[in-house]
Amino acid sequence: MKDPIEFFPGDPPWGEYLIKLLVITASLSFAALLLALAANQRGVARKLGVTTLVVLTPIAWFVTERHTGPWKAFQIKLVDFEGKARQALQRCNQNYDCASDYLDTTYGTTTFQFTSNHRPVRLFIRRRGDRLAVVDFGHGANAVFDSTWMLTVYSD
């Protein structure tokens, strides 16, 4: 069985940097496209449009992948786990060890399997900023995700 490490966002998380690049590139390309059209330079505008499309397609694919298929199922599991973790923390007066024990005994170890030929990743409770769920991809690779946008908040 393969390790789920191929799903690990990496350290640093390059995908998140690509998303920022997507926004910057799209903004600059749109402005340049408008300037080229205003100057009646249709050939330049066409070349700029094709180049922008070629550059932005892989980045857009990454963004789309994080919101479909196994990542969408993972997002649902992550949101559910964060809710349970908040309840466990309230029940245990903000004691993380107690909350972790409570989650394990009440719900069992929370895992998620991206594909059938990979070992499952494990979710556990730990505070990283305002996030509670840490995802253990194995071999010391851990990550924290923003459960709304599925962007990597932290990885090691």
Q: Are residue 59 and residue 76 in the same domain, yes or no? A: no
On whether residue 2 sits in a domain, the answer given is no
On whether residue 50 sits in a domain, the answer given is yes
Q: Are residue 53 and residue 107 in the same domain, yes or no? A: no
Q: Are residue 36 and residue 82 in the same domain, yes or no? A: no
| SS3 call for 138 | strand
What's the chain's Rg over C-alpha atoms? 20
Q: Note the pLDDT of residue 41.
A: 80
Give 125's DSSP letter. Answer: E
Q: What is the pLDDT of residues 95-134, one digit of tens each?
A: 989 999 999 899 888 999 888 777 889 999 988 777 889 9
Domain of 79 in residue numbering reads as 71-155
On whether residue 48 sits in a domain, the answer given is yes
- According to the per-residue pLDDT averaged within each range, which of 17-21, 80-84, 139-143, 149-153 is highest? 80-84
On whether residue 81 sits in a domain, the answer given is yes
Q: What is the pLDDT of residues 72-96, one digit of tens each?
A: 999 999 999 999 999 999 999 989 8
Q: Are residue 42 and residue 81 in the same domain, yes or no? A: no
Compute the distance between CA of residue 151 and CA of residue 97 in angstroms, rounded to an integer.
Answer: 27
Angle between helices 14-38 and 42-65 (to 10 degrees): 160
Q: Are residue 46 and residue 88 in the same domain, yes or no? A: no
Taking the model in full, what pTM does it have?
A: 0.74
Compute the distance between CA of residue 40 and CA of residue 37 in angstroms, rounded to an integer.
Answer: 5
> How many domains would you assign to the chain?
2
On whether residue 5 sits in a domain, the answer given is no
Question: Average pLDDT of 48-60?
Answer: 79
Q: Are residue 149 and residue 76 in the same domain, yes or no? A: yes
